[in-house]
Amino acid sequence: MSDADNYEASTRGGKSDAQAEFEYEEKGLLGRIHSILHHSPALVPLIVLVLAVIVFGLLNANFWRVATLSLIFQQIGIVGILGIAQSLVILTAGIDLSVGAMAVLSSVIMGQFTFRYGIPPSAAIVIGLAAGTAMGALNGVLVAKLRIPPFITTLGTWQIFLAANYIYSANETIRSQELDAEAPVLKFWGSTFEVFDARVTYGVVLLLVLVAIMAYILRHTAWGRHVYAVGDDEEAAQLSGVNRSRQLIQVYALAGFFCAIAGWVMIGRFGSVSPSASTGQLGNIQAITAVVIGGISLFGGRGTIVGMFLGALIVGAFEMGLRLAGADAQWTYLLIGVLIIAAVAVDQWIRKASA
């Protein structure tokens, strides 16, 4: 025994040998930027957004008008709410391809329950919200209990919900006049009020409120911290006392609930209940785009709802800015494609523990 542990004696004692100190190390400029971004990844989309607003404003002064900015907010209303749902799921290191389909099916349920079965619209809304939550919970059970990868689960349920939506509605659209006459509450989020000679929809206010609520929950409640923990290291979270399955099912169910809210907002925004709304096909891609540009890591555990909101605003600002500048619409898609790749590249860099 005597010889065997002597090799360690050389390291014993001495001032420098205090236990596992937390040292402060000198960092270069890049290192400092890295550690700031590492701590608040939402700064990247914020910087991009500010630059975009400045550049588009210089290209066309109309961009800076309150009316234009309010229009941008209106256009991201639905994507923003779907983005909240998508953010929750992606923070747990999952993905939800069915968000758009859940939104459309929920909106169709709200409309059809009112018009086909004569249920009071407010009750139909509650049923629609419950249906969205149930659809999300189904995703959650498949992911958490049967351990089917989220991508596959939601690729399947996306098709299932979308097909169910066409079958159930018989591809029938409920028109604006019918809604106005019998169920104006379904269109509530599309109604407007005046702020500084600009019209703002209640849907925009709802988006802001939902972003604030979810930002609070993720940051300041145990449930929110557990979302990050499950996404960061599932095994570790489980050993630390987080119930992984329950947490995942709750996250997917809540995502479904938010999609149903988005479905309600869609009715107001489009003025009709349409099973063939483009959201069913494109909603998931648009939401993932907002999430990724907003700096939420697809590997889970990193990013914020506020970042996603900024990501959605960036997409909205690019669409509007390029249109005002008279560019071909394809430029918008091209630039958003570039932004997505750049955002993930930046995320890879930020995720490294030290530069």
Partner 1 sequence: MSDREPILKARNLVKRYGRVTAIDHADFDLYPGEILAVIGDNGAGKSSLIKAVSGAVVPDSGEIWLEGKKVTFYNPIEAREAGIETVYQTLAMSPALSIADNMFMGREIRREGFLGKYLRMLDKKKMEDFARQKLSDLGLMTIQNINQAVETLSGGQRQGVAVARAAAFGSKVIILDEPTAALGVKESRRVLELIMDVKSRGIPIILISHNMPHVFEVADRIHVHRLGKRLTVVDPKKCTMSDAVAYMTGAKDPDPSQQAA
Q: Which residues bind partner 1 (CB under 8 A)?
A: 1, 4-5, 7-8, 11-12, 17-24, 38-39, 216, 220-223, 225-226, 228-229, 232-233, 235-237, 239-242, 301-302, 353-354
Q: How far apart are CA 296 and CA 87, in angstroms?
A: 7
Decide whether 237 or 260 has the Cβ nearer to partner 1: 237
Quote the least distance from Cβ 83 to partner 1, whole Å: 21
Nearer to partner 1, 83 or 301 (CB): 301
* Shortest Å distance, C-beta 223 to partner 1: 7
Q: Which of 293, 296, 294, 261 is nearest to 279 (CA)?
A: 261
Min dist CB 339 to partner 1, Å, is 23
Nearer to partner 1, 161 or 228 (CB): 228
The residue (of 3 and 197) whose beta carbon lies closer to partner 1 is 3
Closer residue to partner 1 (CB): 5 or 194: 5
Provide the CA 188 distance to its chain's centre, in angstroms: 23
| 65 CB-contact burial (10 Å; exposed 0-12 / middle 13-18 / buried 19+) | middle
- Cβ 207 to partner 1, closest distance in Å? 21
Kindly state the tokens that stand for 216: 């609070």
**How far apart are CB 94 and partner 1 at their closest, in Å?**
16
The total of other beta-carbon atoms located within 10 Å of residue 66's CB is 12
Distance CA 75, CA 96 (A): 22
Nearer Cβ to partner 1 (9/170): 9
Residue closer to partner 1, measured from CB, 167 or 209: 209
CA atoms within 13 A on the CB side of 334: 6
Rg of the chain on CA atoms, in Å: 24
Distance CA 169, CA 109 (A): 8
Instruction: State the minimum distance, in angstroms, from the CB of residue 130 to partner 1.
Output: 23
Q: From CA 34, how far away is CA 24, in angstroms rounded?
A: 15
Other C-beta atoms within 10 Å of 70: how many? 19
Strand partners, 199: 194
Q: How far is the CB of 307 from partner 1 (least distance, A)?
A: 14
Q: Which among 310, 281, 283, 313 is positioned nearest to 296, based on CA atoms?
A: 310
- Look at residue 265 and give its three-state secondary structure: helix
